[in-house]
Chains A and B, each alone.
Chain A
Amino acid sequence: MEVEKEESEEIPSTSSNPVEDPGPSQARVETESDDEDIEIPSILDSITQQQIDEFRPFHERYFEKKYCTRFTTDTVNLDTCVRIHTNKISLIYLSEKHSVIQNQQRLQSIDFQVSKKVNRLKNAMFGKGKRGAQLLQPDSILCHLETVDGARYPVHACVYGKLLEINSRVIKEPNFLLDDLNEGFLAIILPDLRRHEENVKSLKSVEEYNT
């Protein structure tokens, strides 16, 4: 439903902003191949059936899943899931065992003003080195979840690094954090490479977490 709505929004927006006519360029490709008769080898033949059968979706293909349990207490589960891309970029999610999810609570809002001075949404950076980005430690608080029942849960960064991004969809729709454990990440962190090993060691593997 939601998707269809977005699609129907998309059509008027492109027709009101007509893009460059793709006609001539397409025509040129065709005349080129007429001129020189360049054969395009089949794309299907370029891969094996095994590659097709073993194909995994994007969020599984490039990420290693880890869990952070160190902030959980006897009374409240504050576990987070950390997905680490092959390039070490780390995404912070709530764990499916997190109290808010387990108790099937709903969020009223998410408070990113984590201290008087620090707001996680005011995070300006520039350049490839992301200079100016907020620096995080494992116990840095990324935000407080505020449920409709009035409860408040902190979410921790879990790793050393720089805050790159808070998920814009979660900002708009807080409950997306609970409802989609693939796209509903909370934050993207560029880990401090000098402490990356330390980061990874402090986290539990899927097997460890589930036993």
Chain B
Amino acid sequence: MTETDSQDTKGIVFNFLIELGCCKRCALRFVGDSNTNYDNPTDDVKKLTRKDLGQNSNDENVFKKSKPNPCIICLDLLQDTTLQTMILNPELEKVLEYDSDTFVNYVSLPKAVLIREHSMEICVKEKFPQFFKDRNVIALNRAWSLSIQNKLAQRLEKKYDKNSYLQIQFNTSYVLDKEESLVMLLLEDKSRKHSIQHDPLSCKNVTSSLQTINSELFKQKVSIPPATPTKALDVEQVFYKHDHVFIAGRYCKYARNMFQTPWSGDDIQVEISSVQEKIFDHIENSFSCSAMVFSSSGREDFDVRTLGRGRPFFIKICDPKRTKVSFEKFRQIEQAVKHTKVVEVRDLQFIDRRYLSNIKEGEQFKKKTYRALCIVDKPENLTAYIDKINNISAVTLQQKTPLRVYHRRSSDIRERQIYSLKAKVINGKKNLLELDMITQAGTYIKEFVHGDLGRTTPSLCEIVGGYIDIIALDVLDIHLDFPPSINHKVKNHQTVNY
């Protein structure tokens, strides 16, 4: 086939479709190529009609003829008036509040349109088998997207990007949708397993049924080409949403009466807020988000402080309107949290979601450094106890589920390691000692010291041969280099690097 032949056939197919009652963009989908301009198809249409008919007057007739009824495939989805209705949707005003430079748009199609599309494909393939042998028809939603992208971009003052985090979804409906798609029940593949939620008329199932359906069977039940519709589809709501973004950092907790996340006990009222609330207070405004979810590498008891470089955490920020948060802004948030005096945050930064598993894995495998203030039963034995502690380098523990958490944890004996122990006197205190330990994640430190009524062995009580207990406990370090530490002296240009 020569170039002209091909162009001629295109014209023939195009006019065949127009005469059946397709809109110009639907007709173009069957003959067009990657250069087809769906945004403004006038030139492409002219080329096809002029070549084939050679008369401008017929041109007009073609469109007049197709006007009274909606497009037999897309039910007018691709018509200029429908596109215009979508662009003028007042809800889109709110999308302007997002600071994203890009957007991506989607449309939901009535099932009737999917069935009509399938019918038309069968029709043209039978009529022009040679022409459609190696030709892919441009999908309807793709053509819709190409048709509306530029107009949307102008309206939203953003660029189209198929990978954009800002998603805009247009929903459509069609009053005769149920009526027209009921035929799928007759065509359904009976051999398929039906789950309880299986709805043969869901959009997804209609799409997949159409992919595998027997053409002969389909032709018996569905009009080929599609019947002329009396109604067009309607444009319904528009939904928009920015994907979650994640920020990570490390937090310190300086209070001994503070939970990590809000406490929801029945009878206990905790006056002071949680670490999470203290951090959220200063983040919410910066992102104008709908919700935030806090996660961290483990958690400390409410009477334990977390010091040093702190505990790694991340926050899922849902539907943020603002994501252009600068290096300086993060530093400002850190400063603001610091003013609470009880919580401090460092290394706050955007983080790609694929690194989040680092924090959760750290929860299980990383070592922790603790400092405990311990009280002993007999002041006269203090130095002997300290010597005994410093004489052992490491301990392997067998910990039965501590009584403290037995009501909510399964019954088990867990083996844990204390990698190092170092005790020292505190000036002027005869019954106190300071104990530094490096332990395996998941070790119950308080139980290691007092022994939990002999249920953690060996305990420090056993080791010193007396009674020793923790008065105060601090986490000095969680041995996880995550997220990367931020050098405050060098300005880091990682503003929208999530």
Expressed in whole angstroms, the Cα–Cα distance for A183 and B420 within the complex equals 27
Asked if B139 CB lies within 8 Å of chain A CBs, one says no
Interchain CB contact under 8 A, B485 and A22? no
Interchain CB contact under 8 A, A25 and B438? yes
Q: List 13 A-B contacts (CB under 8 A).
A: A7-B388, A13-B396, A25-B419, A29-B476, A35-B485, A40-B308, A46-B474, A47-B373, A57-B469, A58-B451, A58-B469, A91-B403, A130-B411
Interchain CB contact under 8 A, B419 and A22? yes
Expressed in whole angstroms, the Cα–Cα distance for A72 and B215 within the complex equals 86
Determine chain A's interface SS by DSSP, over half rule: mixed
Interchain CB contact under 8 A, A46 and B407? no
Seen from chain A, the residues whose Cβ lies within 8 Å of a Cβ on chain B are: 3-4, 6-7, 10-11, 13-14, 17, 19-20, 22, 25-26, 28-29, 32-33, 35-36, 38, 40-41, 43-44, 46-47, 51-52, 55, 57-59, 62, 85, 87-89, 91, 125-128, 130, 164-165, 167, 169, 182-183, 185, 188, 190
Q: Which chain B positions have C-beta within 8 A of A51?
A: 471
Q: Which chain B positions have C-beta within 8 A of A11?
A: 392
Expressed in whole angstroms, the Cα–Cα distance for A19 and B472 within the complex equals 27
Interchain CB contact under 8 A, B373 and A190? no
Cβ contact of A25, chosen from B309, B367, B373, B409, cutoff 8 A: B367
**Which 3 A-B pairs give the minimum distances between C-beta atoms?**
A22-B419, A3-B465, A22-B420
Interchain CB contact under 8 A, B256 and A47? yes
Known: A85-B403, A87-B407, A88-B407. A52 touches B309 (CB 8 A): no
Interchain CB contact under 8 A, A36 and B309? yes
Q: Smallest Cβ distance from B168 to chain A, in angstroms?
A: 43
Expressed in whole angstroms, the Cα–Cα distance for A52 and B430 within the complex equals 12
**Smallest Cβ-Cβ distance to B435: which chain A residue:** A43
Cβ contact of A130, chosen from B395, B410, B465, cutoff 8 A: B410
**Smallest Cβ-Cβ distance to B405: which chain A residue:** A87
Expressed in whole angstroms, the Cα–Cα distance for A52 and B469 within the complex equals 11
Asked if B369 CB lies within 8 Å of chain A CBs, one says yes
Expressed in whole angstroms, the Cα–Cα distance for A166 and B462 within the complex equals 21
Q: Smallest Cβ distance from A41 to chain B, in angstroms?
A: 7
Expressed in whole angstroms, the Cα–Cα distance for A62 and B453 within the complex equals 12
Q: Which chain A positions have C-beta within 8 A of B469?
A: 55, 57-58
Interchain CB contact under 8 A, A165 and B474? no
The B413-442 residues at the A interface (CB cut-off 8 A) are 417, 419-420, 426, 429, 431-432, 434, 438
Interchain CB contact under 8 A, B419 and A85? no
Q: Smallest Cβ distance from B324 to chain A, in angstroms?
A: 28
Interchain CB contact under 8 A, A89 and B453? no
Q: A58-B450, A125-B410 are in contact. List 4 more A-B contacts (CB 8 A).
A: A43-B373, A46-B474, A130-B410, A190-B407
